[in-house]
Structure 1
Amino acid sequence: MIFGRKRKARRDAADPEEERPDTVTDADTTETTDTTETTDTEASAAADEAGSGGAASTEDATTEADRPVDWRGAEPEDPWVAVDARDWRQDGPFDIDEVDLEGDPVGRMDLGALVITPIDGMEVRFQVEQTSARATAVLLLHDESAMELSVYAAPRSGGLWAEVRQEVAELARQQGGTAELAEGPFGVEVRRMMPVVTPDGQQGLQPTRMLMIEGPRWALRAVVYGRAAIDYADEAVTAELREVLRDTIVRRGESPMPPGSIIALSLPPELDEQIRSATQAETEAQAEAEGQRRTLPDPTGQSSAIQG
C-alpha cells in the first residue's frame, strides 16, 4: 500500500460523455495499430529475459464456448457481469483526483498519463512507436516476471473491458494459441498461451495474463509475463507486481478522445531525447537493410493495441 497520500472522493465531471463508437477493437480502424506491433515484439522479448515456460491452469476459467445456450438459441446472461460489478479499485490503482501527492515522501516515476512506483531491483523500459517516437507503454521487469502497463481513453459509463476481452481471447485462438477467461485479483482477466520462437530458434508457448482496470474515463491495461503469468496462484510470486499495479496512478487529462484510443506517456526530457535518437537510428538502419533485401509480409497480421 502507498503511504503519504489519501483517497479522495471520485470526481463528478460535468463535461459531456464522449460519443461511443460501434466498436473499439477493429484491427483495421483503430488509431493504435502501429503501437501494438512494437509493443508485442519488445514486450515478448523482455518477458523472455524475465523467464517463461509452463502453462497456466485453466480449470476454473470459463470460455465463450463453455457457455450454455438454451433451446431457443438465446445466449444466457454474461456469467462475468457479477464479477465486473465489484469495486476492484478500492485499494488501487487510483485516479489522480482520488489521491493527494503533496508532500508525498514515496519515490515515484511521473510519466504524465501514469505515475508508477518502482520497487527495488525493478528494471523499467518503454515501448515506443517507431513512426512517432512517442512512448505508449511502460514495461516493468522484476525477478523472473514482467508487467506491461498502458492506458486508454474509455467511456464514462465503463464497460470497455467487457466489450473487448472476448475478442482478445478469439484473436489469441486465431493466432494458434489458447485463451481462457478467469477471475483474478483485479477482476476478469484473459489467460493466454501464445506461440513464440525462443531465443535459440525453437518453437514454444508463452503464457500471459491480460487484465484491464477501469476508472473515470480511462482503462489501465496490464499484461503479465514470466513466472507471475505461470504461477498466478502463488502469492510469493505475484505479490510484488500486484502491489506495483495497485500503487499506480492514472492521469487521463481532460481532452476528449474516442474510447479505445491509447494515451501516450510523457518521459523526462533527457530520456525522451535518447529514445528519439535511438528510434531514428533504428529507422534509418532498417530502411538501409530493406534496400538490400526483399521484405516479406508479416504472416501474423496486425491487431489493435487493446487486443495485444
Structure 2
Amino acid sequence: MGIFGRKRRAEAGDERPRGRHAAPDDGDDDFDDAYLDPEVTSGPYDIADAPEDGIPRIDLGSVRVPVPEGAQVQVEMDQASGGVRAVHVVTPVGQVTVSGYAAPKSGGLWTEVCGELTEQLRTDGAKVQPGRGEWGLELSAIVGEVALRFIGVDGPRWMLRGVIAGPQSQAAAAPDVLREIVRHTIVVRGDSPMPVRTPLTIELPEAVQQHIAAQQQQGG
C-alpha cells in the first residue's frame, strides 16, 4: 500500500520490465537513453487534469502537495526578503521539497537540469549516481551523512522537481515516499508567459500566513 492508503493503478499493457539497463558508473555524466524514457504512469497532474480523489494537499498556489499521514509541513522563510524560500513536507524518512518551474512546450528541461545538478553536487564533494524511475532519470547523492534523491517530471509548460533529504539509514525507504508525493502533486502553471526555469510562485494558505505572522510578532 502507498503512504496514502491506496495502491497505484496499473493500466493493462503499461508494465515495462525493470532493471534492464545497468546504471552508469559514478563518473559517467552521459546518461543512457533508458534513464530518459519514462514509464506510463498517472500523476503528477496539471490542474486541467487533476482528479477529485480526496487526498489531503497543502495549496501553495503553484503546486498542491499531498501531506502523508504522520508528516508535518515546515515553512522556510528568506530572512533577507521576508518571503517564502521553500515549503517542506517532513516525513519519518526524510524532508521532501517539491518545486515547480516554467518549462518549454517541447519538454526536456529535467534532463538539462540533471546534468547541471550532477556537476554541482560533485563539485561540492557529493557522490552522485544516476538511475531510472517511473518518470525517467533520477539522481541519488550522498553528502556527508545525508542521502538525497532527486526526481523530475516534464509537464505541459512546467517542470516539477522533488527531492528528499534524510539519514543514510533511511535511504532505502526514502525514494518510494518521494515518488508517492510527486505522483499525487498538482501543478498550477497559469497562462502568463514566463522565461524557462522561472520558479513558480509559492503562496501560503491564509491560516499558515497568520500563524507565521503571530510567531514573528512574538519574536519581536
Shorter-chain TM-score tier: 0.7 to 0.9
Q: Distance in 2 between matches of 1:267 and 1:175?
A: 32
| 1:215 corresponds to 2:147 | no
1:252 maps to amino acid: R
Offset of 1:229 from its aligned partner?
8.4
Percent pairwise identity: 32
Tell me if the contact between 1:114 and 1:249 (Cα under 8 Å) persists in the aligned partners: yes
1:97 equivalent among 35, 43, 48: 48
More helix by share: 1
Q: Summarize the Cα distance change of 1:138–1:185 in structure 2 as closer, same or farther, 3 Å threshold.
A: farther
Q: Distance in 1 between matches of 2:94 and 2:80?
A: 29
Structure 1 residues 89-238: aligned runs within 5 Å: 90-101=41-52, 105-195=54-144, 205-226=145-166, 230-232=170-172, 238=175
Equivalent position to 2:35, from 83, 91, 99: 83
Give the corresponding residue for 2:192: 255
Partner residue of 1:12?
none
Most deviating of 121-130 and 243-252: 121-130
Taking the aligned partners of 2:114 and 2:169, their CA distance within structure 1 comes to: 17
Cα contact 2:26–2:128 (8 A) shared by 1? no
Report the Cα distance in structure 2 between the residues aligned to 1:207 and 1:193, rounded to whole angstroms: 5
Q: Of the candidates 169, 180, 201, which is equivalent to residue 264 of structure 1?
A: 201
Question: Which structure is higher in strand share?
Answer: 2
TM value normalised by structure 1:
0.57
Pick closer, same or farther for the CA change 1:224–1:119 going to 2, 3 Å.
same
Q: Distance in 2 between matches of 1:126 and 1:188?
A: 28
Is this contact kept in 1: 2:89–2:95, CA < 8 A?
yes
Q: Deviations over 1:224-277 (max 9, x none)?
A: 122688533x5xx65444322211111111111111111121112232244357
The aligned residue for residue 15 of structure 2 is none
Gaps of 5+ in 1: 4-59, 68-77, 196-204, 285-308
2-structure distance, mates of 1:280, 1:159: 45
- Measured in 2, the distance between the counterparts of 1:63 and 1:170 equals 14
**Alpha-carbon distance, 1:137 to partner:** 2.9
Aligned-partner residue type, residue 200 of structure 2: I
Number of matched pairs: 202
- Report the Cα distance in structure 2 between the residues aligned to 1:279 and 1:165, rounded to whole angstroms: 37
Aligned letter for 2:132? E
| TM-fit CA distance, 1:124 | 1.0
- Structure with higher RCO (Cα < 8 A, 6+ apart): 1
Q: CA deviation at 1:138?
A: 2.3
The AA in structure 2 aligned to 1:213 is V
- Rounded to whole Å, the distance in 2 between the matches of 1:263 and 1:63 is 34
Matched, 1:246 2:183: yes
Q: Is the 8 A contact 1:95 1:251 kept in 2?
A: yes
Describe the shift of the 1:114–1:136 C-alpha distance in structure 2 as closer, same or farther (beyond 3 A).
Answer: farther
| Matching residue's letter, 2:50 | V
Q: 2:42 matched to 1:61?
A: no
